[in-house]
Structure 1
Amino acid sequence: MDMTIRNNASALRAFSNQMQVSASNVANALSDEFKADRAYNVEGENGQVQTSISETQASAPMVEAPLKTNASLKDLSNTDIAEEMVVQIQAQNGFDANAKMIETYEETTGTLLDTLV
């Protein structure tokens, strides 16, 4: 397998990881005290793409706990749904672009082999 195809395949995995992290953030957006994670795709060895995941440090809104009688406050989730939508669109576009690169490589290789045979 060509190195370029390996790099594209690693990018597919990385964008998939990025989408999974964002989907988890959205799924937990209404969970009290949930801290969203952020997945960053970085270049690794030989041009491979790897995902680095870290918890966001953004502060969450504080609200009065409705079931408490002592007027205590609780943290809500720090997930920003609009930001997650942008992340998911970017991840989808990156995934699509790398899938198209692999598809084009396979078509070109097939055409070349058909010409030689």
Structure 2
Amino acid sequence: MNEDDQLDAAFSALAHPARRAILARLAQGTASVKALAQPFEMSLPAVSKHIRVLESAGLITRERDAQFRLCRLETKPIQKISSWTEQYRHIWDARFDMMDTLLTDMKESDQ
């Protein structure tokens, strides 16, 4: 999988709030699939499907520890996403500054 395909897969995986929540939990340390499923109001197979999407995107890895399937966050793909988004930060900052100026001007003209 080339770098563009990896970014596409990662952004696609991050599009779902449950998958982002799973990654946030794994940022605290490894966890079993059952532990990851606990806060969600969905079936264990549904959570497992989300985990498979994250694994396919390279964002997590799974390993077997006795009877448990432990999931671990993979930081390298997250770093690639961060690097990719960082190159656009100056554009976003400039647009937010323009929006702030516009909103300030609008508030002042209403007073």
Higher strand share: 1
TM-score by length of 1: 0.34
Structure number with larger C-alpha Rg = 1
Output the TM-score relative to the length of structure 2: 0.35
When you count helix as a share of all residues, which structure comes out higher?
Answer: 2
